[in-house]
Amino acid sequence: MSKDNDEMVVTPWEVKGKIDYDRLIEEFGTQRIDKKLLDRIYKITGEKHFMLDRELFFSHRDLDWALKEYEKGNRFIIYTGRGPSGNVHIGHLVPWIFTKWWQEKFDTRLYFQLTNDEKFWFDQDLTFDKVKQLTYDNALDVIAVGFEPENTFIIQDIEHIDMMYEIAVQVAKKVTFSTARAVFGFENSMNIGGIFYPSMQAVPAFLHSWIYGKKTPCIIPCAIDQDPHWRITRDVAEKLGYYKPASIQNKFVPGLQEGGKMSSSNPMSAVYTTDTPKMARKKVMAAFTGGRDTADEQRKLGANPDICSVFKYYNFIFMPDDKELADIEKKCRGGEMLCGECKQILAPRIMKFLEEHQERREEAKERLHEFSAARLRDEIRR
Ligand code: TRP
């Protein structure tokens, strides 16, 4: 592998190379979630979460502040989102599952933004019809995660622009092109929709405060590649009379193929929520592992879970039990368990998960209105 290929690039629109999370924290200027903060979270939630313990969520901005406000009785809302550029896969669901836990434990509102404008502007090949179809399809996946409908508001940028534009124009006026270019690396060849777009991603952080006329803290669970957006959002927040949004940031969830990349050009690299369970099983059985060339060798020398995509799936979603995970890691390193056998444990778990998700996804088709942010229109005082 050449050095160039390995060079880390992390922007909201491109993630490549070998990811060094310590360096990201340093370069982005975020904070690590340390033991003290973790204890503070658990004191409120009364329950641990393996995605925090295992440092999938590892970085933050102002989370300590937002929790302090919460303890004082100043409750926050949460905000997350997704750009509907393709079908949802299991990797996407991982942070959403955490967000659901966070919503339940803090009994708080969730604003979930589907940025169909963003994907339409940033993906040259995406037609308008296609992005609308994907918005609908992705909303079904969001609902299928099991968020509480009375506390969940799915925002679709294009459809709900009337509720967003007042905030977006005010954000846009405060951000110069030179700032946007410096933060996002925009180039002259870009369409002007994309240049305006960051003002749209800022909106849900302020929407609740704006609708109810009460400054309300906001916590954004998101992958760390979205952080440049929050730098802009935080920069304008106080100028517009809002709190700076806090964030809790996760690592990238790896795919099933070598190098851990999930890529839409390689359908084997991810299990999509619409895959048949049988197809999912096939993908698991073909997944990249840290195994040796021959069974004999592996029994003698053991395998390497650190580079294994199957082990990452256990770690991040399918094996929340620490003891079970430690046990499988030990058997893997010691050569006691071979990769085929290990995959046989993962496959039925993914299949069962998919079956249940797909059932809820089917039901979601009748429930879109229960989750739609459109129902907030009546609450807006102008
Ligand atoms: N830009 C994000 C994406 O491409 C979507 C998004 C919008 C988002 N608002 C968000 C993601 C808030 C996390 C949190 O997927």
Look at 11-15, 260-264, 358-362 and tell me which has the smallest mean pLDDT.
260-264
- Whole-number Cα distances in Å, 307 to 10, 249, 312: 21, 22, 8
Q: What number is the average pLDDT over the span 97-117? A: 98
Question: What is the b/e burial string over 41-71, where b = at least 16 CB atoms within 10 angstroms of the residue's CB?
Answer: beeeeeeebbbbeeebbbbbbbbbbbbebbe
**What is the spatial distance between Cα 301 and Cα 267, in angstroms, rounded to a whole number?**
32
CA of 368 to the centre of ligand 1 (A): 20
The 3-state DSSP class for residue 172 equals helix
pLDDT digit string, tens, across residues 296-305 = 999 999 999 9
CA of 170 to the centre of ligand 1 (A): 20
What is the rounded radius of gyration, in angstroms, for the C-alpha atoms of the chain?
21
Q: What pLDDT score was predicted for residue 258?
A: 77
Query: Which residue out of 103, 115, 135, 253 has the highest number of ligand 1 atoms within 8 Å of its CB and is therefore the one to mutate?
Result: 115
Spatial CA neighbour of 66 closest among 41, 91, 43, 90: 41
pLDDT digit string, tens, across residues 126-184 = 999 999 999 999 999 999 999 999 999 999 999 999 999 999 999 999 999 999 999 99
Examine the pLDDT at 3 and tell me if it is beyond 80.
Answer: no
Name the pTM for this structure: 0.96
**What is the spatial distance between Cα 79 and Cα 380, in angstroms, rounded to a whole number?**
18
Residues 6+ apart with CB under 8 A from 141: 88, 92, 93, 273, 357, 361
Domain with CATH 3.40.50.620 in the chain: 20-252
Q: What pLDDT score was predicted for residue 266?
A: 80
Per-residue tokens: 215: 């400054």
- Place 2 in a pLDDT band, splitting at 50, 70 and 90: very low
Examine the pLDDT at 1 and tell me if it is beyond 60.
Answer: no
- Place 257 in a pLDDT band, splitting at 50, 70 and 90: confident
Query: Which residue out of 201, 219, 232, 252 has the highest number of ligand 1 atoms within 8 Å of its CB and is therefore the one to mutate?
Result: 201
pLDDT above 70: percentage of residues in the chain: 96
Q: What number is the average pLDDT over the span 272-280? A: 97
Domain with CATH 1.10.240.10 in the chain: 267-363
The 3-state DSSP class for residue 375 equals helix
pLDDT digit string, tens, across residues 181-214 = 999 999 999 999 999 999 999 999 999 999 999 9
- Dihedral-angle region of residue 272 (phi above 0 means left; psi in -120 to 50 means alpha; beta otherwise): beta
**How high is the mean pLDDT of the chain?**
95
**Domain 267-363, second-level architecture:** Orthogonal Bundle (1.10)
pLDDT above 90: percentage of residues in the chain: 92
| CATH for the 20-252 domain, from 3.40.50.800, 3.40.47.10, 3.40.50.620, 3.40.50.1370 | 3.40.50.620
Whether residue 283 contacts residue 262, with contact meaning beta carbons closer than 8 Å, is answered with no
Q: What pLDDT score was predicted for residue 29?
A: 96
Q: Is 198 in the pocket of ligand 1 (CB under 6 A)?
A: no
